[in-house]
A = this chain, B = another copy of it.
Amino acid sequence: MDLVHLILGRRLPSSAADEVKIGVPAAVPAMGLDALSSAAYGPEAALTMLATVGAAGLGAIGPITVIILLMLVMLYFSYRQTIAAYPTSGGSYTVSKENLGIWPGLLAAAALAIDYVLNVAVGISAGVAALVSAAPSLHKYTMPLCLIILLIITLMNLRGTGEAGLAFAVPTYLFIVSLLTVLATGVIRSITSGGDPHPVVAPPALPPATQALTTWIFLRAFASGCTAMTGVEAIINSVAAFKEPRVRNAHWTLTFIVMLLVLLLGGVAHLAKVYHIGAMDQSRHGYQSTLSQITGAVFGRGAIYYVTIGSVLACLCLSANTSFVGFPRLCRLVAEDGFLPRAFSTIGRRLVYSVGIIFLSLCAGSLLLLFRGITDKLIPLFAVGAFLAFTLSQAGMVVHWHKQSEGGRFGNRFRLCVNGIGALATAVALVIILAAKFLEGAWITVLGFPVLLGVFWLVNRHYVRLARTIKAHGPLNLGNNKPPVVLMPTRGWDRPTGKALRFAFWLSPDVIALHLTNLTGEEAKEEGEKVGREWKENVEQPAEQSGVPVPRFIPVPCPFRLFVKPIMEQIKRAKQEFPGRTIAVVIPALTEKHWWHTLLHRRLGAHLRRALMNHDDHEVVVVEVPWFIEDKPVPV
């Protein structure tokens, strides 16, 4: 307990849940990290696809980036509208559910959930890739590093990240400032040198082209590059956390983040082109990320290089944190609607949804292990979920505006068009991504959708049935409430039996003591007579004298040394004798005080209780009258 306390902090009362609302400066690191850090792996993913076509690939990176930036702007306007329409919770799940129906909503939830998991794996593995670029000797430790970072993030989140504002703000702004400095310097040098700047540290030569640039390769590079757009939905999921004026603050944050992302993506694409920088194979020794090559080319491997790469590493790892905020909240919403186990909506000791956090961590850890922590292998699985969620969310908004525009307001019809175009664009991108990446790994993600929807369906069916069976059909009916019949296993007359008997007399006039015996033949007879005599003297006579109905005494032989079955048979007999009466099995239960006591007793009481509770018999109630094994005898 003390270790848990040390690692996770003291348990917080529910009343501490009133979140501190945040403004724009704090919101950019808290919600924008995922989106901004995509700049570190999105362009690289596109360049990786273009690696086989050599220098021709650098010509293609321009158009690809332009298309992605256009889509980003479209998404920006679309999301502005969503924020205004759903100022409390405009996540894809809610918007789709409310406008398209529960199953499209759950599809969006499945898509988001898968992408949240992938975001953790991709963020951490890309962060480690950046680290390994700066310190190649760490290359062989890629996997353990990934898992250690995952563990740290998980523990941080189980503590609750409420206090972690500064921990996010510093690396985020450092990332923004240093990367913008590198990109701006590089762009200025490229302009002053007439488009062919001299690199301070020359990037590795591009591999020779092994094939020509085809439309297919172009589309695949585009599909990979689309990963740069993931993370933008984090902002609209968290509008509720903004200070008032909530919508305006959310709008400014969105604007700021999208603007920065446009600058970063454009800058990286431009510099990759003018410095002739391509993607390298992460699984090979000597790997350098695209950002590492660019920074090296512009500033050399000096202080600025290490500050930049350090901030990239920090931001990528922290970007995984976005999932740790979003995933448990999404699971809670789905669980509250009854499509995931209730545990996902249970608030843990630090007021976070601990079950969701642990589940996310396990899933992401499995992915990292499965794909050996290599970003490139994870990328094809990524983005499918995000784009499906984008499309569903915007389609939901189209329906939303359609309903609203029935009054005929022009504004709403314009908004409908904006969301419609957005939905169309992301749908087209989704189709391209699916087509381009299906065989490389996107099929795994696609397979995930029906699996998750199936789980949602099964869980919901269970809860619906449960609610139906426990729902009361009317007020309490005390008519025909017959007293129960008490069955009480006993070893003979002793104090635990006495305690249980005193209790049993309150329950029922019909108490039946069952004396269990393993013995057979002569021995059994002798023991039975002895116990029976004691019972007569110590129980029957006092009961008669007190005017209490005398409890019956039945010897129950256990010829196979199993006592549960004979008791079950006695229950059956009692039911025949007392039809319609509840059977209360009163167990005088010796209760362990120390763990080693369990080695010294057969724990018949505990076994019997478990068997009865699993016996699926509506008419049996289990009563445990505990008798504690004391170090010293106590007076009773």
Residues of A within 8 A of B (CB): 11-15, 17, 341-343, 346-349, 459, 462-463, 465-466, 468-479, 481, 483-484, 493-498, 501-503, 505-508, 518-521, 537-539, 541-543, 546, 548, 559-562, 582, 584, 589-591, 593, 597, 599-602, 609, 613-614, 616, 618, 620-634, 636
Asked, given contacts A347-B518, A470-B495, A537-B475, whether A582 binds B503 with beta carbons under 8 Å apart, the answer is yes
| Contacting residues, chain B, for A505 (C-beta < 8 A) | 478, 481
User: Which chain B residue has the least Cβ–Cβ distance from A599?
Assistant: B341
Q: Quick one: which of B346, B548, B621, B627 contacts A561, CB cutoff 8 A?
A: B346
Q: Contact check, A542 vs B477: say whether CB atoms are below 8 A apart.
A: yes
**Besides A481-B505, A593-B616, 13 other A-B contacts (C-beta < 8 A):** A11-B560, A346-B602, A348-B561, A462-B600, A465-B629, A466-B629, A471-B495, A477-B498, A478-B546, A478-B548, A589-B613, A618-B636, A623-B623
A614 to chain B, nearest CB (A): 7
Which 3 pairs, one residue from A and one from B, show the smallest C-beta to C-beta distance?
A475-B538, A478-B546, A469-B633
Partner of A494, one of B17, B348, B472, B548: B472
Q: A481-B502, A542-B476, A633-B465 are in contact. Are A559 and B616 (CB under 8 A)?
A: no
Cβ A621 vs Cβ B503 within 8 A = yes
In-complex Cβ contact of A469 among B506, B518, B634 (8 A): B634
Question: In this complex, what residue of B is CB-closest to A18?
Answer: B521
Which B residues lie within 8 Å of A613 (CB)? 589, 591, 624, 626
Sample 5 A-B pairs with CB under 8 A, ordered by A number: A11-B562, A470-B627, A471-B495, A472-B495, A622-B623
Chain B residues contacting A508 (CB-CB under 8 Å) are 506
Which chain B residues lie closer than 8 Å to A17 at the CB level? 520
User: Which of A347, A479, A584, A621 gathers the greatest number of chain B CB atoms within 10 Å?
Assistant: A621
Q: How far is the CA of A13 from the CA of B126 in the complex (A)?
A: 66
Find chain B residues with CB under 8 A from A546 CB: 478-479
A475 close to B539 (CB less than 8 A):
yes
Give how many copies assemble into the complex: 2
Chain B residues whose C-beta falls within 8 Å of the C-beta of A518 in the assembled complex: 14, 347
Partner of A502, one of B465, B478, B541: B478
Q: How far is the CA of A473 from the CA of B634 in the complex (A)?
A: 12
Q: Kindly provide the distance from the CB of A332 to the nearest chain B CB, expressed in whole angstroms.
A: 13
> CA separation between A17 and B609, bound complex, in Å?
30
Q: Is B470 a contact partner of A494 (Cβ separation < 8 A)?
A: yes
A631 adjacent to B465 (CB under 8 Å):
yes
Q: Which partner residue on chain B sits nearest A483 by CB separation?
A: B506
- CB A448 to nearest CB in B, in angstroms, measures 19
Q: Which residues of chain B are near A543, meaning CB under 8 Å?
A: 476, 478
Complex: how many Å from CA A559 to CA B474? 32
Q: In the complex, which residues of chain B have a beta carbon less than 8 angstroms from the beta carbon of A633?
A: 465, 468-469
Q: Across the interface, do A559 and B15 meet the contact criterion of CB distance under 8 Å?
A: yes
Q: Which residues of B contact A475 (CB under 8 A)?
A: 537-539, 541-542
Chain B residue contacts of A538, Cβ below 8 A: 472, 474-476
Q: Let me know if A634 and B618 touch, CB within 8 A.
A: yes
How distant is the Cα of A473 from the Cα of B494 in the complex, in angstroms?
8
Residue A625 contacts which of B519, B541, B621, B632 (CB distance < 8 angstroms)?
Answer: B621
B506 touches A600 (CB 8 A): no
Residues on B with C-beta less than 8 A from A466 are 590, 629
Complex CA–CA separation, A630 to B559 (angstroms):
34
For A632, list chain B residues within 8 Å (CB): 465
- Give Cα distance in the complex from A428 to B619, angstroms: 70
How many angstroms between the C-alpha atoms of A629 and B77 in the bound complex?
Answer: 49
Closest to A518 in B: B14
A17 to B521, CA, bound (A): 11
A623 touches B621 (CB 8 A): yes
Residues from chain B with Cβ under 8 Å of A589 in the complex? 613
Least Cβ–Cβ distance between A498 and chain B, in angstroms:
6
Query: Which residues on B sit within 8 Å (CB–CB) of A541?
Result: 475
**Which residues of the partner chain B approach A519 to less than 8 Å between Cβ atoms?**
14
- Chain B minimum-CB-distance residue to A546: B478
Known pairs A475-B542, A613-B626, A622-B624; A602 contacts B559 (CB<8 A): no
Which residues does chain B contribute within 8 Å of A626, judged by CB atoms?
A: 613, 618, 620-622
Nearest CB on B from A544, distance (A): 10
Q: Which residues of B contact A636 (CB under 8 A)?
A: 618
Taking CB atoms, residues of chain B closer than 8 Å to A465 are: 629-633
- Closest residue of chain B to A620 (Cβ to Cβ) is B626
Residues of chain B within 8 A (CB-CB) of A631 are 465
Q: What is the bound-complex CA distance between A635 and B347, given in angstroms?
A: 35
> Within 8 Å CB of A493, what residues of B?
472
Contact check, A469 vs B484: say whether CB atoms are below 8 A apart: no
B498 in contact with A476 (CB, 8 Å): yes
Q: Using Cβ atoms and an 8 Å threshold, which residues of chain B touch A630?
A: 465, 469
Q: Tell me the bound Cα distance from A478 to B502 in angstroms.
A: 7
Residue of B nearest to A616 (CB): B628
Cα-based distance from A631 to B471 in the complex (angstroms): 15
Whether B343 and A14, one on each chain, are in contact in the complex, defined by CB atoms closer than 8 angstroms, is no
Chain B residue numbers with a CB within 8 Å of A623 are 621-624
Choice from B341, B481, B542, B609 contacting A600 with Cβ under 8 Å? B341
Tell me, in angstroms, the Cα distance from A445 to B204 when the chains sit together: 70
On chain B, the residues within 8 Å of A502 by CB distance are 476-478, 481
Bound together, the chains give a CA A485 to CA B627 distance in angstroms of 19
Are A560's CB and B14's CB within 8 A? yes
What is the distance, in angstroms, from A68's C-beta to the closest C-beta of chain B? 41
